[in-house]
Amino acid sequence: MGVKAALARLAAGAPARCFAVVGAEADEIAPWLRLDPELVIVDSPRAADVLLVLGQLDDEMVRAAAGVHDALPPPRGVVSWSPGGERPVSWPFTDDVRVDDPAQIPAACRRLRDELLSGRRASSPDILPDIDPAPWRGVGPFGQGGAGMTGGVPYGRPLAARADDRDGLKLDQILVRVGPYLPPFPSGLVLDVKIQGDVIQEVSIPTPAAVAPDLISAGAHSAGAHSLTGERALFNAAVTQPVPVADIEVARARHHLVWLAEALRVSGLEAYGRRVLKLARTVRPEAAEPVDDLSRWLRRNVSLRWGTSGVGMVSASRAAALPGGPVARAAGDGRDARSLDPAYERLGFTPVVLEDGDALARWRVRVDEAQQALALAQRAGESLTTPIGLVEGPCGPIGGERSTSAALVTMLPELLVGMEWGDAVTTVVSLDIDMAEAALPHDAAVASRAS
C-alpha cells in the first residue's frame, strides 16, 4: 500500500497524458492543447491515461473512438467536449466527464487523471467485447499446425496476403487500416494502405468522406455561437460580406504557423514546433520579425531539406486539376482568389508561387505566405475585402465548386503509391488537408454560409 501510494503521489505531479480524438468543429481547439502545461498530447492510446473526445463524431467515427478507448491501458477515463453539448445516440462512453467550455478541458483531464490514480474513480470499462475475431487454434493437439503459422490465424486473425515485390518474389503484403485517428494524419482521414516492407503498394479510400456532412453543416450553422477561435467562420463570412483584410490575413498567418508547428513536430523538432505554436498564438502584424527569422532558419536547415526535398511531388498537371491553394502554388500554379479582389490589388498583392511541387516547396510557400500575410495586414489598415463569392482560405479557395481538401484526398491514392512509409507521412502532413472542409459538400457549404 505504501509503495502504491508513494508512486501515485509521484505520478500526480506529472501532466495528464491524453490521446485526442478530434471530430468536426474541434480542429480549431485541438492544436492549442499542446501548449497547456496540465496535459501532454500523446501519439498512441497505449501511452495515455485520458481519452479526449472533442467535437462532433458521426457513427463511424464513434465506433473507431470505441476501439481507441479500449486500447488505453487501465486505469483510464474519458473527457468529452462537443459544441452545444450534443452527443450522438450511439455514444458509447458511459462515464465520461463532460466539459461545456473548451477552456476547461486541461483542468478536467488533470482532475480525472488524479481521481483515477487515487482510486476515487473507477477505470472506464471496456466497450468492445473481449473476444478474438476467430479462434486461434491449429489442427494439432496443442493448437499448432494447419495452414501457415499457428493454424494460420494467430490471435484470431489470418496472415497477410502475398504479392509481387520489386524483384519478382512473392512476399507478404499487409493491409493497414489507417485512420481515422492515427497521428499525425489529419483526424478523420481514413485510408486502406497495402504495404510490403515499408513501401506502399496500394492505397484506397474506403468511404468518400469520413465525417457525416449533416453533422458538419449543423456545426457550421452554430460555429459563431460557440466562440471558437473562429478562423473558419471568418473565412466563410468573407464569401458573402466584406471583412477587414487585416483580420483575414492574420488568421491566414496563424493557420500556416499552426500547421508549421505540427509539421516540425512530425519531423522530430518538437521543441521548435512548440515555439512556433507559441508564436502562432501571439502573432501580430506589427511584430513580424520572429516569422522572418523562422523563414530564414527554414531556408538554411539542411536536415529538413533532406527530409522534404523531392518528396510527394505534385506535378504541374495534378496541380492544375486542384481548385487552387498553397499546394497548387508550390507546383507553379499561380491561381489565388486574392488576385481577383480589388482591395488586394490596391495593396500590391502578388501570389507566392514556387515551381518544385515537392513537400519542401509547400513548406516554403506556407511560410512565405505567412510572412506576406503579416505584411499585407500591416499595410491594409482599415480596408475591407470585396465579397466576390470566392475567398482564398488557408487551404485553398472557399466558395468554389469543390474544396481543395476534397480534391487532395481524392489525389492521395495515386500520390502515395510507391512511397516509403516515412515519405508518405511527410507528404500527407505537407498537404495540410482540412477534413472538415473535405467532407463539406458544395450545397451544404453554401447553405451554411447563407445563414
Instruction: Indicate whether 169 belongs to the interface with other proteins (CB under 8 A).
Output: yes
Nearer to other proteins (CB atom), residue 197 or residue 285 = 197
Instruction: Indicate whether 178 belongs to the interface with other proteins (CB under 8 A).
Output: yes
Residue reference for cell 473548451: 102
> Of residues 15, 92, 145, 197, which one binds other proteins by CB under 8 A?
197
Nearer to other proteins (CB atom), residue 166 or residue 284 = 166
Instruction: Give whole-number Cα distances, 17 to 22, 46, 114, 333, in Å.
Output: 16, 10, 11, 42
Instruction: Indicate whether 131 belongs to the interface with other proteins (CB under 8 A).
Output: yes
Instruction: Determine phi and psi for 245, rounding to 5 degrees.
Output: -60, -40
Instruction: Indicate whether 176 belongs to the interface with other proteins (CB under 8 A).
Output: yes
User: Under rule CB under 8 A, which residues in 347-366 are in contact with other proteins?
Assistant: none
Q: Please report how close the Cβ of residue 433 comes to other proteins at its closest, in angstroms.
A: 15
Other CB atoms within 10 A of residue 121 CB:
17
Instruction: Indicate whether 196 belongs to the interface with other proteins (CB under 8 A).
Output: yes
For other proteins, which stretch binds (CB under 8 A), given 59-67, 264-272, 360-368, 388-396?
59-67
Instruction: Indicate whether 10 belongs to the interface with other proteins (CB under 8 A).
Output: no
> Of residues 14, 103, 175, 316, which one binds other proteins by CB under 8 A?
175
DSSP state of 125: P
Separation between Cα atoms, residue 333 and residue 395, nearest integer Å? 14
Question: For residue 370, which of 447, 443, 275, 284 has the smallest C-alpha distance?
Answer: 284
Nearer to other proteins (CB atom), residue 163 or residue 388 = 163
Nearer to other proteins (CB atom), residue 143 or residue 158 = 158
Nearer to other proteins (CB atom), residue 190 or residue 257 = 190
For other proteins, which stretch binds (CB under 8 A), given 164-172, 265-273, 354-362, 386-394?
164-172
Separation between Cα atoms, residue 380 and residue 244, nearest integer Å? 8
Nearer to other proteins (CB atom), residue 101 or residue 198 = 198
Nearer to other proteins (CB atom), residue 85 or residue 148 = 148
DSSP state of 225: G
Q: Which residues of 212-247 are buried (b: 16+ CB within 10 A; e: fewer)?
A: bbebbbbbbeebeebebbbbbbbbbbbbeeebbbbb
Name 375's Cβ contacts closer than 8 Å, sequence gap at least 6. 285, 288
Burial group, residue 191, by CB count within 10 angstroms (0-12, 13-18, 19+): buried
Instruction: Indicate whether 11 belongs to the interface with other proteins (CB under 8 A).
Output: no
Helix crossing, 245-266 with 270-282: angle to 10°? 170
Other CB atoms within 10 A of residue 160 CB:
15
Q: Please report how close the Cβ of residue 183 comes to other proteins at its closest, in angstroms.
A: 9
For other proteins, which stretch binds (CB under 8 A), given 29-37, 146-154, 258-266, 291-299?
146-154
Q: Please report how close the Cβ of residue 14 comes to other proteins at its closest, in angstroms.
A: 15
Nearer to other proteins (CB atom), residue 113 or residue 256 = 113
Question: For residue 312, which of 411, 194, 395, 195 has the smallest C-alpha distance?
Answer: 411
Residue reference for cell 470585396: 386
Burial group, residue 3, by CB count within 10 angstroms (0-12, 13-18, 19+): exposed
Separation between Cα atoms, residue 403 and residue 166, nearest integer Å? 36
x/- string (CB under 8 A) for other proteins, residues 386-425?
A: ----------------------------------x-----
User: Under rule CB under 8 A, which residues in 18-57 are in contact with other proteins?
Assistant: 21, 44-46
User: Under rule CB under 8 A, which residues in 65-124 are in contact with other proteins?
Assistant: 65-68, 70-71, 73-74
Q: How many residues belong to the site for other proteins (CB under 8 A)?
A: 57
> Of residues 16, 39, 153, 258, which one binds other proteins by CB under 8 A?
153
Instruction: Determine phi and psi for 39, rounding to 5 degrees.
Output: -140, 160
Separation between Cα atoms, residue 71 and residue 44, nearest integer Å? 9
The H or E element containing residue 191 is strand 191-196
Instruction: Indicate whether 128 belongs to the interface with other proteins (CB under 8 A).
Output: yes
Nearer to other proteins (CB atom), residue 84 or residue 422 = 422
Instruction: Indicate whether 174 belongs to the interface with other proteins (CB under 8 A).
Output: yes
Q: Please report how close the Cβ of residue 143 comes to other proteins at its closest, in angstroms.
A: 15
The site for other proteins (CB under 8 A) is made up of 3-4, 7, 21, 44-46, 63-68, 70-71, 73-74, 126, 128-133, 149, 153-161, 165-167, 169, 171-182, 185, 190, 196-199, 420
